[in-house]
Amino acid sequence: MQLTVTQTPINEYQGDALILFVPSEGELPAATATINNELDDFINQLQQNDDIKGKVAQTLVIPQAKGPRLILIGLGQQPVKGKDFIKALNAAASALKTSAANTAAIDIRDIELDGFDTEWAYKQIGQAFQGALYHFDECKSKKDENPNTIESLTVIADNTAELDLKFGQALAKGMAYTKKLGDMPPNVATPSYLADEADKLATMSDNLATKILDEDKMEELGMGSFLSVSKGSIEPGKIICMEYLAGKAGDAPHVLVGKGITFDTGGISLKPGAGMDEMKYDMCGAASVLGTMLAIIELELPINFVGVIAAAENMPSGHASKPGDIVTAMNGTTIEILNTDAEGRLVLCDALTYAIETYEPASIVDIATLTGACMAALGRVNSGLFTEVDDLAQELIEASNTSRDTVWRLPLQEEYQELLDSNFADIANIGGPLAGATTAACFLSRFTEGQKWAHLDIAGTAWHSGGKAKGASGRPVPLLVNYLANKI
């Protein structure tokens, strides 16, 4: 989709459609009022007749015999809350995509936002309209020959809006890539597939290089915890390192570590069959790191950033780990495996150790679909945030508020650590039935001591379950891209 900025008035636009916003009360925004006046008070009459009441995201498409069709979008009350503005933009993008129009113009300069500036608003435009183009048909034998699309969007604004629109568009492309990787079937999206995708990204930027650790190298490095998971599958595990070095030479990189369990049966601690197909989404932490890297490349951000992916399958077999096994992690910690379905932390702990020893990061954040307990606590609204570093927590919370990809900070207190005590090893891989999200984070904290580290549990936010809604969400790419962009 092409994004164009112009200062030409909206009533002179010659394309297919005009996107106009209608509030639930008060005066029409300037662009809508201009068209309303030219059409002899037509939009006001539609409001008076209750054809459009201005409720948030309400949509009405009006064909025009002469000139562009009108796509009217309810805006709610002004000043408009950030979440309502995003809902309105998504409704506008969806209406444009499903209409017969391929081109449109939009002008939001006179819309009053509650707590957000126009720079933020233009980022949301780029994200919403580019994001509407996501469509997954990779595995269908009959593809839509003429899929609905958006060829171009003309934004009436000052030229300074171009960078913000580009930021939002790049973010949406990263989200779409994350969604595609998550939606791929697990017989395609294997650890080797993720490694190949990382190599493809490296061809897009001279600043990016990839390094892949195979199981022989992991054995040499003493990654017994990771290998205890991957050994149950015929698919070999991989640790994938993507080194994007576009910042100042010698500056320590910011590191993201993604959980990439490309399918999670639970291992010997087998999951129930119902809904197990959605366990292909257990690699969405890894997918979000790849999506974030794509967005960073698109934006050419001058930053030193390393993405590390711990990719493996968790399968039951004669080679799989058993409850009661004890394994040794890369840092020498011995781990009693009480439940083989708590495998994400087993691959992440070795990946974290490797990332810390190799890159000496300025900050390190892991992203994982780690616990059902976090989903039970926060639902599908917030991702769980765990860290003992207050300034890092604040940075991530600010990025989440800006991106509207929200998080909620959960406790990580010393008192929870004793729940991981083991009679036979240094640590157990689960902490019992209580505080499951926190004990999982406590486990990871044992491998990140002294680091500026945070853990994001995205079990509830990485995908949508069931029916037509089922699919990867692309979260937390908006949070991560904003977090990294704020480091510049």
Residues 347-360 have pLDDT tens digits of 999 999 999 999 99
Whole-angstrom distance, CA of residue 369 vs CA of residue 388 = 20
pLDDT (tens digit per residue) in 202-234: 999 999 999 999 999 999 999 999 999 999 999
**Mean per-residue pLDDT for 380-393?**
98
Query: For residue range 106-134, what is the model confidence (pLDDT) as tens digits?
Result: 999 999 999 999 999 999 999 999 999 99
Distance CA 361, CA 343 (A): 25
Q: What is the pLDDT of residue 136?
A: 93
Signed CA dihedral, 412, 309, 168, 378: sign only: negative
Q: Which amino acid is located at 164 in the chain?
A: D
User: Would residue 259 show up in a list of annotated catalytic residues for this protein?
Assistant: no
Closest listed residue to residue 399, CA positions, set 324, 482, 321, 473:
482
Task: Give the H/E segment covering residue 397.
Answer: helix 390-403
* Bridge pairing between strands 427-428 and 334-336: parallel
DSSP 27: P
Structure tokens, 380: 């599908």
Other CB atoms within a 10 A radius of the CB of residue 196 amount to 14
Instruction: State the alpha helices, DSSP H only, in 79-131.
Output: 82-98, 118-131
Q: pLDDT exceeding 90 applies to what percent of the chain?
A: 97
- Assess whether 271 carries a catalytic annotation: yes
Residue of 259, 280, 345, 475 marked active site? 345
Rounded to the nearest 5 degrees, what angle is found at the Cα of 358, between the Cα atoms of 256 and 437? 40
- The position carrying tokens 């406790």 is 411
Beta-carbon contacts of 382 under 8 Å, excluding residues fewer than 6 positions away, are 406, 407, 408, 460, 461
pLDDT tens track for 181-201: 999 999 999 999 999 999 999
With contact defined as beta carbons under 8 Å apart, do 422 and 428 qualify? yes
Query: Which of the four pLDDT bands, split at 50, 70 and 90, describes residue 146?
Result: low
Set out the domains of the chain in order of their start, with CATH numbers: 2-158 (3.40.220.10), 171-485 (3.40.630.10)
Task: Identify the CA nearest to 483 among candidates 447, 462, 456, 443.
Answer: 456
Residue 356 in contact with residue 443, Cβ under 8 Å?
no
- Which of 53, 81, 211, 271 is catalytic? The answer is 271
